[in-house]
Structure 1
Amino acid sequence: MTYLTSFGNFGRDAYAWVAKDKGFFREAGLDVDIKPGSGTGDNISKIEAGAAMFTPVDLTGLLLARGNGGAKSIVVVAGIQQRTMAALISLEGNGIATPKDLEGKTIADSPGSVVRNLFPTYAKLAGVDATKVTWVNGAPANLIGLLASGSVAAIGQFVVGEPTVESVAKGKQAVVLPYSDVMSDLYGNVLVTSATIAKERPDLAKRFIGALMKGLAHSIDNPDEAGRILQKNVPASAAVPAAAECTLMRAFVRPEGSGAVVGTIDTKRVARSIELLQDAGAMPAGVTPEQLISAELTPRP
């Protein structure tokens, strides 16, 4: 089967490589081909087209897509991050210290990125005039380079991207503006598949989910090993920044009060997220958690 990472091959996605390298997929009777994803929008399209069977996408991005009439065949089967890691990252010296400082600046991100698509909602809640911010396109693998070279003032990233940004922009500290500062109920990435697989091949889905969640737990509990495994399988990835990303992600995978089981999803929180997006005018009424989440497949607390 084919699995897409959420966004390139950074430390935040090392858990899939850990699940493969440690034999978790093999123990579940699965042969998994891991390919780099390109963000929520593109990943959703590939699942719908049958080009991949499972992928992580940002739940908020999925909600926005469903609210706009898309992603109708996508089913959520596990939670990866219990709160959103979406963020904008800049560098010291770029004149960005608060959200308001984004006005008049240029930000790079891929067109289908949830950071970019959620920005109007973030801007509204953070008191930013979104019409005064310029967005340019950038491929996932090139974003940090664009920031480090000074081509743009900020990039769309996950908060765990901070160590990787600083490793490329040598000598400069990263400035991180997390979306969770103004949207605390939002989940981060969730694992999705097609409605067809969820309905017709639930045993396959359960085996894959179990193996991937085992890799996720192992990667945040053993970040240094996860970084080495990622670099071994993807030589262009650096082990040290990848390990740092896994360390930072631990608090998002197992936040305080969430319990020890990774992958769970609270439908009441999802309902509050939907309400927040509706109140911000980002999506129409009518979408419910039950339309998106497979209660039969998601890990139990």
Structure 2
Amino acid sequence: MNFLLLLLRACLRASRRAGAAVALGGSGLAMGLAALPAAAQTPVKMVLNWKYEGAQSWFFLAQDKGYFKAEGLDVSFDQGEGSAASVPKVAAGAYQAGFGDINALIDLASKRPDNAPVGVFMLYNTPPFALVVRADSPIRVPADLEGKTVGGPANDGALKLFPAFARIAKVDASKVTITNMAPNLREQMLSRGQIDAGFGYVTTVSFSARGMGLDPARDLRFIRYGDHGMDLYANTIFFSRSFVKDNPKAVLGFVRALNRAIKEVIANPDAGIDALMKREPLLKRDVEKDKLLATLKNDMSHPEIARIGLGDVDDARLRKNIEIVAEANQLPRAPGVREVFDRSFLPARAERLSATTAP
């Protein structure tokens, strides 16, 4: 009796005692993985761009469906305080990963290249940055901001980019008064006339206004940065430089799991909202679903994804993006494209979406 047969009989006896099945592969013996010790999970602590909302639902779906766990990852999420705020938190080592504004990342990469995180999956490929005014406001073009008061949360991405916008749009920034407020007060202060304009993302402002009973299409107007020569990328998934170096397989697995969840949420938005509502049951489900769909339309719909796929960047466009931010903000240097974004962790082009239109 050969050794393989003896081993097979021993396994069968063990499986009967345990009440488990032993699976036999076409080439020989397959041992049940459940009988083996659980593999160690690499912890990944991630800070998001904002409070839990519909446009983050793919993160939660990937967690709930075990996609991260299947990649050997133990992923946890913390709510954020603005798209620019997540970058320094990852750079400081408080988190391994973040979701936030690549332009804040460019700024840090210019000043502290050894500490700056690295983008690995571009989500917001259409510039969402804007100035919002009341529909009856005399502010019609960027130059009309001179002599006015503009407000926004301190960590708002549009506010951080205003020096760049002012230079490109020929606005004398020294004649614009900037004020900060808590994020939940921006739309209130605008509607009451306490500020003349506000900084923000189009989708975020629109839904905050809806929560106050305003109709964004009727009551507000947006001056979008992208309409004035700033075709910039916005929010990306990024990891700390040290984590990328020490755990490349973990980064690869995270991106693979997230890409899978993004495709599922776009195909079935309700599944993503289900995952969100488990975490914040007091949110209004219909509003968060609308916010998700609006994000896909407004922030993730750049024509380039038909060519390069969701998640990637166009090198020439990102290079121009970097140059705009570096020049306008008088940064010490313009970082290279590879310093800011590393596409080597992306799934194959065929596995990534060519459009983000939800059903």
**Match in the other structure for 1:135:** 178
1:268 aligns with 2:311: no
C-alpha distance 143-234 of structure 1, shift in aligned 2 (>3 A) = farther
**Match in the other structure for 2:286:** 240
Cα distance in structure 1, aligned partners of 2:128 and 2:201 = 5
Cα distance in structure 2, aligned partners of 1:88 and 1:70 = 30
**Match in the other structure for 1:66:** 109
- Residue 222 of structure 1: CA displacement? 3.4
1:107 aligns with 2:143: no
Q: Counterpart of 2:125 in 1: which secondary structure?
A: coil
C-alpha distance 223-179 of structure 1, shift in aligned 2 (>3 A) = farther
The one-letter amino acid of 2:168's match is L
Q: Counterpart of 1:56 in 2: which secondary structure?
A: strand
Corresponding residue to 2:339 among 278, 291, 298: 291
Q: Radius of gyration: which is bigger?
A: 2
Tell me whether 65-74 or 187-196 shows the greater mean CA deviation: 65-74
TM-score, normalised by the number of residues in structure 1: 0.86
**Match in the other structure for 1:5:** 48
Cα distance in structure 2, aligned partners of 1:270 and 1:232 = 36
C-alpha distance 119-198 of structure 1, shift in aligned 2 (>3 A) = same
Cα distance in structure 2, aligned partners of 1:244 and 1:109 = 23
- Residue 73 of structure 1: CA displacement? 3.5
1:255 aligns with 2:298: no
C-alpha distance 261-165 of structure 1, shift in aligned 2 (>3 A) = same
C-alpha distance 69-21 of structure 1, shift in aligned 2 (>3 A) = same
Q: Counterpart of 2:74 in 1: which secondary structure?
A: coil
Within a 5 Å distance, the mapping from 1:132-211 to structure 2 comes to 132-148=175-191, 150-172=193-215, 173-211=219-257
Cα distance in structure 1, aligned partners of 2:229 and 2:142 = 14
The one-letter amino acid of 2:268's match is N
- Residue 37 of structure 1: CA displacement? 1.1
Q: Contact 1:224/1:243 (CA < 8 Å) preserved in 2?
A: yes
Corresponding residue to 2:276 among 215, 220, 230: 230
Q: Contact 2:59/2:258 (CA < 8 Å) preserved in 1?
A: yes
Over the matched positions of the two proteins, sequence identity in percent amounts to 25
- Residue 26 of structure 1: CA displacement? 3.6
C-alpha distance 80-134 of structure 1, shift in aligned 2 (>3 A) = same
Cα distance in structure 1, aligned partners of 2:175 and 2:125 = 31
The one-letter amino acid of 1:270's match is L
- Runs of 4+ in structure 1 over 4 Å off: none
Tell me whether 191-200 or 173-182 shows the greater mean CA deviation: 173-182
Tell me whether 248-257 or 117-126 shows the greater mean CA deviation: 248-257
C-alpha distance 239-144 of structure 1, shift in aligned 2 (>3 A) = farther
How much is the aligned-residue C-alpha RMSD, in angstroms? 2.7
C-alpha distance 272-139 of structure 1, shift in aligned 2 (>3 A) = same
> How many aligned positions are there?
301
The one-letter amino acid of 1:60's match is N
Q: Contact 2:157/2:200 (CA < 8 Å) preserved in 1?
A: no
TM-score, normalised by the number of residues in structure 2: 0.74
The Cα offsets for residues 232-264 of structure 1, whole Å up to 9 and x where unpaired, read as 422353323322222222243243242373211
The one-letter amino acid of 2:291's match is E
Corresponding residue to 1:49 among 92, 101, 110: 92
Q: Counterpart of 1:244 in 2: which secondary structure?
A: helix
Tell me whether 56-65 or 86-95 shows the greater mean CA deviation: 86-95
Corresponding residue to 1:219 among 246, 252, 265: 265
Q: Contact 2:256/2:346 (CA < 8 Å) preserved in 1?
A: no
Q: Counterpart of 1:262 in 2: which secondary structure?
A: coil
